Amino acid sequence: MDSVKVISTTTIKAPIHNSTTCDSHQIINLTPWDLQFLPLGTIQKGLLFHQPIPIPNQINHLKHTLSTTLSFFPPLTGRLIITTTTTTTTTPNNTSCSIICNNLGVLFIHAKANNTSVTDILQPNNIPPIVHSFFPLNGVKNYQATSEPILAIQLTELTNGIFIGFTLNHVVSDGKSFWHFVNSWSQISKDSHKLPKLPSLQRWFPNNIQTPILFPFTITESESQDQRSKLPERIFHFTKAKLEELKSKANEEIKTEKTKISSLQALLSHVWRSIIRCKKLDPQEDFRYVLIIGVRPRMNPPLNEDYFGNAAMIGDVRMKVGEILECGIGKVALEMNKMILLHSDEKIKNDYECWLRMPRLFSISGLTSCNSLGTSSSPRFDVYGNDFGWGKPVAVRSGGANKSNGKITLFAGVDEGSIDVEVCLSYEILEALGNDNEFVVPISE
């Protein structure tokens, strides 16, 4: 495998004649769910395909259909506006941030990796480092979208395939909205100029909330939080049958009719216990598992399913290492289940209003640490339905943004009903997991 060579860069804008982009000064104010991501890195996800023929025609087609798709997603062609005002009071809440939908455009990069094949990406146990080079805007933080694009896309030609890497500002979008855009583009690229699911661009604010929201923020503090990791990553594949086995085992262990453990809760408990077992920690140590909990269906009334923006909260479960190992996946999954159920409409709104009183921004070190794991993304997102006209993807991969020790990313597997778990840990722990007969064999074996 060699390095990636950039062939061309283009700025893609939405058609100016479209009614959704005619207001070049539309402002979208941001919620606490959005603002807390300012110091972090972007969302970086990408799709691997066998190569369509001919490539030049496909690139031109992709650029054209991307422009069409962007007419439905005006925030993606805009920029952030971050304003800090000088006050005579002692309050640190003097910064605001909004999206201006000014159609400055999306970055589109055409690149080549002349000696890298699809097999080179899929075969190794650990994800090859070159994969991170398939993503644009590496190292860019969300707050830098005052000048950097909110969305950048890189199409990298391989010897027998292509990789489309997406870098999307996490202040503007969460994972669900990210895949809404990708699904829309692939659909338009394949055979349609209409979307069955239009994005709902109106952000959610409680009544009587003054916007834009003010909060404390300085670039110096943000830059000091860059904890970018060089740790290896490995993908483990769980078949539908294995997931059913874990689910049945978890529910059998808790023996209650009131609570049903889901396949995902059972899987995450299994992953948690297996990693702790491989780490060989002191039984009396505390360990934390961090989950991203979507709030769209949990609010009353529910948010629009196609709400475009961030609509998720952080939840965590804390247990002793010894307890996790001794009690089985059922008990661990039950603790996860209880924590998730606590996120009712009342709690969501209380936490939202608490943030308004005491704003706080995320840091990578705060989400994962030596004795914690953090899970992002979801196997419910439609990854393998993204057919741009030359067939479905053969794999999905993530970039290097927001990676740290203990970061776990979930994807739907290529086989229906399966799940892929991308784990970022030390080489020794990943090797131990791969050799652990109680866990699962890696996807590549």
> Could you give the residue numbers annotated as active site?
170, 387
Fold matches, 5-223 and 233-434: yes
φ and ψ at residue 229, rounded to 5 degrees: -105, 150
Residues 295-319: tens digit of each pLDDT: 999 999 999 999 999 999 999 999 9
Q: What pLDDT score does 51 carry?
A: 82
Residues 317-348: tens digit of each pLDDT: 999 999 999 989 999 999 999 999 999 999 99
Give me the helices (H) in 280-379, please.
Answer: 321-341, 345-357, 364-367
- Nearest CA among 70, 72, 440, 395 for reference residue 239: 440
Cα 103 to the chain's mean position, in Å? 24
263-279 vs 240-254: helix axis angle to the nearest 10?
A: 90
Residues 106-149: tens digit of each pLDDT: 999 999 999 999 999 999 999 999 999 999 999 999 999 999 99
Does 3.30.559.10 match the CATH number of domain 233-434?
yes
Q: What pLDDT score does 368 carry?
A: 56
Print burial letters for 4-32: b (CB count within 10 Å at least 16), e (below 16): beeeeeeebebeeeeebbeeeebebbbbb
- What is 5-223's CATH number, 3.30.70.20, 3.30.572.10, 3.30.559.10, 3.40.190.10? 3.30.559.10
The residue extents of the domains of the chain are 5-223, 233-434
- Confidence bin at 17 (pLDDT 50/70/90): low
More confident residue, 85 or 292: 292
Cβ-based neighbours of 347, under 8 Å, separated by 6 or more: none
Tell me how far CA of residue 46 lies from CA of 205, 314, 360, in angstroms.
32, 24, 30
Q: What pLDDT score does 221 carry?
A: 55
Q: Supply 110's token pair.
A: 């055409």
Question: Mean of the pLDDT values across residues 74-89?
Answer: 88
Residues 349-362: tens digit of each pLDDT: 999 999 999 999 98
